[in-house]
Amino acid sequence: MDFTEKKVEIQKKVERLLSRDRYTHSLGVCQSAQDLALRYRCNADKAAISALLHDIARDFSGDEMKAAILQEDPDAHFPRQMLVEPVLLHARAGAAVAKNQFGITDNEILRGIAMHTTGGPGMGLLERIIFVADFIEPGRRMYGVEKARKLAAESLDAAMLYILKLILAYLLDQDKCILSDSIDAYNDIILNRTN
């Protein structure tokens, strides 16, 4: 697959499918992902594709997200937490849509999409880049984003840990469920820091 050509094709299609705000966010994530990819020696075109598609299912209903996932994996399991908070399904649904509607077969790109919300165990470089890029993209204004941007420029692992801590603290403060994937992502980084 020529990722550069595919990136241009996907960007045009994504612009037609997403709301203006979601598309603007996706472009911001794309820019941040490409910047991080260049800094950390990852394929920038693959990072761009994953970033452009990361929220492709974000505006689906819970039932539409489940249907997209089941189309790809009829035996899919849905943790109860995801059914209570269906928005948590959008990353997995997005990976299914990327594969089935955009023809993406690269597992690294698909995992980047699938893991961008909660993280997960065994995250590779591209998956970590998309996770961080989604948080630090230029349009974000939430608490902690400036520090996350600075950390991302110094150490991808430090940025990941910081962002995961913010997410976990927020979920604890709001009495919301925490998916084991987020805890596994945190533990993996602690145990396997590379930068």
Where exactly are the structural domains of the chain? 3-191
Kindly report, residue by residue over 122-179, the tens digit of the pLDDT. Answer: 999 999 999 999 999 999 999 999 999 999 999 999 999 999 999 999 999 999 989 9
Q: What's the pLDDT at 6?
A: 81
Residue type, 165: K
The pair phi, psi for residue 120, each rounded to 5°, is: 175, 175
Q: What's the pLDDT at 83?
A: 82
* Residue ranges of the chain with per-residue pLDDT less than 50: none
Q: What's the pLDDT at 148?
A: 98
Q: What's the pLDDT at 80?
A: 86
Domain 3-191, what fold? Answer: Hypothetical protein af1432 (1.10.3210)
End-to-end CA distance of the chain: 30
Question: Containing H/E element for 173?
Answer: helix 156-173
CA-nearest of 115, 108, 62 to 89 is 62
Angle, CA 39 vertex, CA 35 and CA 44 arms, to 5°: 55
Q: What's the pLDDT at 84?
A: 83
Q: What's the pLDDT at 140?
A: 95
**DSSP 3-state of 161:** helix
Cα–Cα distance between 185 and 62 in angstroms, integer? Answer: 24
The pair phi, psi for residue 40, each rounded to 5°, is: -105, 15
- 0.85 exceeded by pTM: yes
